Amino acid sequence: MSKDESKQKLVGPWRSIHAAVWLIGLAILFWTGNWWPGILVLIAISAIVEAMIRRYAPGAVQEEQAAGPVAAPAGAAASSTAVPPREHRLELLPSQCPGCGGPIRGHEVKWTGVQSADCPYCGVNLPMAKGVGGESG
């Protein structure tokens, strides 16, 4: 795979199924004691299961977040009509979700607007504080 290609990973219950294949396979290897040929078979079974999941469940994979800065497409840097990203108002977020009581962190919420966000745990729309920072909304 080249540097330009993006990596994909399994998400949701599909990742759990893939992990279960490994745990069950390792348990069988431990129980039978056939480590050497068995680990190769387990790797093959794991690759086949992952390929089947990717083939028959298109929503099972998600692009991995890049660790470094992502290069802009050709011609995007020269465009003077580029709109800067709008800032999210982190100070308006509550400290806990009113629905599930989970802790709210700005980098974990699902932003649905500049001043609107959903809880990452239960999906409830979070009530924003009023009048913070002297601006009227």
In-domain check, residue 2 = no
Separation of alpha carbons 7 and 94, rounded Å: 34
Number of domains in the chain: 2
71 in a structural domain: no
3-state secondary structure of 75: coil
Instruction: Please tell me the predicted confidence (pLDDT) of residue 115.
Output: 75
What are the start-end ranges of the E strands in 35-82? 61-63
Domain boundary among 47, 63, 79: 63
94 vs 2: CA distance, rounded Å: 43
Residues β-bridged to residue 63? 8
Q: Give the integer Cα–Cα distance in Å for 47 and 55.
A: 12
In this predicted structure, what is the pLDDT of residue 35? 87
pLDDT of residue 131: 55
Do residues 137 and 100 both lie within one domain?
yes
| pLDDT for the residue 86 | 58
**Distance from C-alpha of 77 to C-alpha of 75, rounded to nearest angstrom:** 6
For residue 24, what pLDDT is reported? 94
55 and 94 in a single domain? The answer is: no
Range of the domain at 47: 8-63
Same domain, 51 and 95: no
132 is a domain residue:
yes
State which of 48, 63, 78 marks the end of a domain. Answer: 63
* pLDDT attached to residue 83: 47
In a domain, 72, yes or no: no
CB 54, CB 60: distance < 8 Å: yes
Q: What is the pLDDT along the chain (137 residues), one digit of tens a residue?
A: 455 456 777 777 878 888 899 999 999 999 998 888 889 999 999 999 888 888 887 777 777 665 555 555 554 444 444 444 557 777 888 888 888 888 888 778 888 877 788 888 888 888 887 754 544 44
Among 90, 81, 92, residue whose Cα is nearest residue 129 = 92
Last residue of a domain, one of 21, 48, 63: 63
Is residue 84 situated within a structural domain? no
